[in-house]
Amino acid sequence: ILFPTVQIVALKANTELKRVFQVWDSFDWVIFTSVNGVNILYDRAKLTGVSLCQRSGRPRIAAIGPATAQELVARGGTVGCIPDEYVAEGIVQCLGDVGGQRILLPRAKRARKVLADQLTGRGAEVVEIATYDVIQPTPPPDIDQVLSVGADIITFTSSSTVEGWLRLLGEHALSALQQSCVACIGPITADTARRHAIPVDVVATDYTTSGLIRALVGHFAA
C-alpha cells in the first residue's frame, strides 16, 4: 500500500542558487545527502544552462548512501567519499581534515543543522543552499481504508515520513499503528518515531531500502 506522507517540492531558482553555479569550481567539496538533492540541483543547473562538471577534479563530491552516489554517477559526477554509516554524522569522519576548506551543502529547507555545525566546528567554511522543501501532501484517497484495516507492517524511510504520518492521521496516528510491525530505515528515523511515542519493532542496520527489506525478512524469519 503506497501511502505518501510527505511531498518533495523543488524551490524556485534564486539569486543565491545562480551564484553557487557561477562559483561551482571554488568549492573543495559538495555534499549530497539524498537523491532528491542530486536531481533537483542538477535539473536546476540544466535549466540555467550550467554544466556541473568537475574541472580538474573540483569540486570533489561526497554522497550519503549508495543510492545518492549512483544518481550522481548517472549524472556524470565522480563520487570521492561515501561514509560507512549513511547518516550526516558519518560523512564528517569520511571527509577527514576539512580545516580551511569551502564546502557546499545542498539540502532541504528544514534539514537538520548537525552536519553544517560539525563541519564548521572542524574549521570548514560551509555554504548551505536550500533546493527543495518537504511538505504535507493531500491525504491519499485510501486513507480511510488504511485506518480501518491497518497493515501487518508499516515502514518509515525518514524522520519526515514519521512526522508526515502524525500530521496526516492526527488523533488516529498512534492507534492506527497498534496492530502493526513498525520498521524504520535507520536509527535517526527510529529515534524520531520513539520521541512521538511510536513503538519501533525493526531498525535496519544498513540505512537503505534494501537494508530495510533485509531487516524485515530477518525479523520475521526469527
What would the grid cell of residue 128 be? Answer: 548551505
Please give the residue that has the higher pLDDT: either 52 or 210: 210
Q: What is the pLDDT of residue 220?
A: 96
Q: Which of 32, 185, 28 is nearest to 108 (CA)?
A: 32
- Give pLDDT tens digits for 115-145: 899 999 999 999 999 888 888 888 877 777 7
Q: What is the pLDDT of residue 84?
A: 74
* Residue 196 pLDDT level (bands cut at 50, 70, 90): very high
- Dist. CA 59–CA 28, nearest whole Å: 5
Q: What is the mean pLDDT of the chain?
A: 88
Q: What is the pLDDT of residue 86?
A: 65
- Dist. CA 124–CA 70, nearest whole Å: 26
Instruction: Give all strands of the β-sheet with 7-10 in edge-to-edge order.
Output: 7-10, 125-135, 102-108, 29-32, 60-63, 79-81
- Dist. CA 117–CA 120, nearest whole Å: 5
- Dist. CA 183–CA 155, nearest whole Å: 5
Q: What is the pLDDT of residue 190?
A: 96
Q: Which of 83, 90, 191, 112 is nearest to 203 (CA)?
A: 191
What would the grid cell of residue 45 be? Answer: 543547473
What would the grid cell of residue 210 be? Answer: 534494501
Q: Report, as an integer, the average pLDDT of 89-110.
A: 87
The residue written with cell numbers 554522497 in the block is 63
Q: Where are the alpha helices (DSSP H) in the chain?
A: 15-22, 35-48, 66-74, 88-95, 114-121, 143-149, 159-169, 187-195, 209-221
Q: What is the pLDDT of residue 141?
A: 78
Q: Report, as an integer, the average pLDDT of 83-103.
A: 83
- Give pLDDT tens digits for 43-69: 988 888 888 877 777 899 999 888 889
Compute CA distances 10 → 68, 109, 159, whole Å. 17, 10, 19
* Residue 206 pLDDT level (bands cut at 50, 70, 90): confident
Contacts (Cβ under 8 Å, ≥6 apart) of 218: none
